[in-house]
């Protein structure tokens, strides 16, 4: 069945307008009957309603969202056999932001990395691996960066739905170990977040080949290109550590969040001491800003 504005879901939510439509399903803006709170309703595509794997994956997504408590992970409100009801997040995805602004200032990247890392740390503490951290799944909302779409997430004790030897995820954000047969882990989420940070700082992910297979192979075979030399060294060090080829060398999400906050606190202290026009972190000049950037975005 197709959905239209005004349709009522589970005798509880009225559909307002579509947010996204894709091959796997669609997401709608909706509201509870008799209520004013806006919510988001995610449906499985009608052609997948008889697909046991698709329905199981939706059930797993709901279970994993319910396990994670963090202001930086989208909150589950309700669920049905073919849909999830989630909080509606104002704002836009990091992908949409980068399509307009290309790059973001150092302080803004540190802030969103720290917030996403806090969300991942909460997920990892609950035994949940996101497995699909990428700019389109990060919403820059009024309350900060929020991770969405746990559609291919996995939790300890859950039966795997992915066939042996098959890798789920987006090639640009796949950790090297996933291409060599290792299972997704907390460390692979940290790597994917590091790729997002690299992209936000430089305007492109470090690896993008002619095909997804070529892109994926580059994560294993090629060194990560150097970050711009005018970035604060502490931020360069953090992102570089997140992108270590050996997952044992990457910091935990908990450590990434703490480090990002330390960097921002240091930057604020330095700015207060040296004045708003001075970076005070590495002595370099500010990077070029778009018209959307405020002085508070700068280090």
Q: Phi and psi at residue 294, in whole multiples of 5°?
A: -100, 165
How does the average pLDDT of the chain come out, rounded? 87
Query: Is the confidence at residue 286, as pLDDT, over 90?
Result: no
Q: What is the pLDDT of residue 273?
A: 73
Domain covering 8-87 in this structure, CATH number: 3.30.200.20
- Look at 60 and 155; give whichever has higher pLDDT: 60
Say which of 82, 132, 149, 189 is annotated catalytic. 132
Q: Report percent pLDDT > 70 for the chain.
A: 87
Residues 208-231 have a mean pLDDT of 94
Query: Is the confidence at residue 263, as pLDDT, over 70?
Result: yes
Query: Is the confidence at residue 117, as pLDDT, over 70?
Result: yes
What is the C-alpha to C-alpha distance for residues 299 and 297, in angstroms, rounded to an integer?
Answer: 7
pTM for this entry: 0.87
Q: How many residues does the chain have?
A: 299
Query: Residue 3: which residues within 8 A CB-CB, separation 6 or more?
Result: 15, 18, 26, 28, 43
Q: Are residues 19 and 30 in contact, defined by beta-carbon separation less than 8 angstroms?
A: no
What is the C-alpha to C-alpha distance for residues 118 and 221, in angstroms, rounded to an integer?
Answer: 30
Query: Is the confidence at residue 290, as pLDDT, over 50?
Result: no
Give me 218's structure tokens.
Answer: 């580059």
CATH fold of the domain at 92-297: Transferase(Phosphotransferase); domain 1 (1.10.510)
For the chain, give every domain's residue range.
8-87, 92-297
pLDDT tens digit sequence for 51-84:
888 888 899 999 999 999 999 999 999 999 899 9
Active site residue 132: yes
Q: How confident is the model at residue 1 (pLDDT cuts 50, 70, 90)?
A: low
């Amino acid at each position: 069945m197709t959905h239209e504005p005004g349709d009522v879901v589970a005798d509880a939510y009225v559909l307002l307008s579509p947010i996204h439509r894709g091959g796997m399903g669609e997401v709608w803006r909706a509201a509870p009957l008799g209520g004013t709170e806006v919510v988001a309703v995610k449906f499985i595509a009608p052609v997948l309603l008889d697909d046991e794997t698709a329905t199981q994956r939706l059930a797993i997504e709901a279970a994993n969202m319910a396990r994670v408590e963090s202001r930086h992970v989208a909150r589950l409100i309700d669920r049905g056999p073919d849909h999830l009801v989630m909080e509606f997040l104002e704002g836009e995805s990091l992908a949409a932001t980068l399509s307009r602004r290309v790059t973001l200032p150092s302080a803004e990247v540190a802030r969103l990395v720290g917030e996403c890392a806090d969300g991942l740390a909460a997920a990892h503490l609950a035994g949940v691996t996101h497995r699909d951290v990428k700019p389109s799944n990060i919403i820059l909302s009024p309350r900060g960066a929020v991770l969405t779409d746990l559609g291919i997430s996995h939790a300890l004790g859950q039966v795997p739905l992915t066939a042996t030897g098959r890798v789920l995820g987006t090639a640009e954000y796949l950790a090297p170990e996933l291409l060599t047969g290792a299972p997704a882990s907390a460390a692979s989420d940290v790597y994917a977040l590091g790729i997002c940070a690299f992209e936000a700082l430089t305007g492109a992910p470090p690896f993008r080949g002619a095909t997804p297979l070529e892109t994926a192979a580059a994560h294993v075979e090629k060194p990560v290109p150097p970050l711009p030399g005018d970035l604060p060294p502490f931020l360069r060090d953090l992102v570089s550590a997140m992108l270590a080829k050996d997952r044992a060398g990457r910091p935990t999400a908990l450590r990434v969040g703490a480090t990002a906050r330390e960097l921002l606190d240091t930057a604020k202290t330095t700015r207060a001491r040296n004045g708003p026009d001075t970076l005070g972190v590495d002595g370099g000049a500010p990077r070029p800003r778009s018209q959307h950037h405020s002085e508070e975005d700068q280090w």
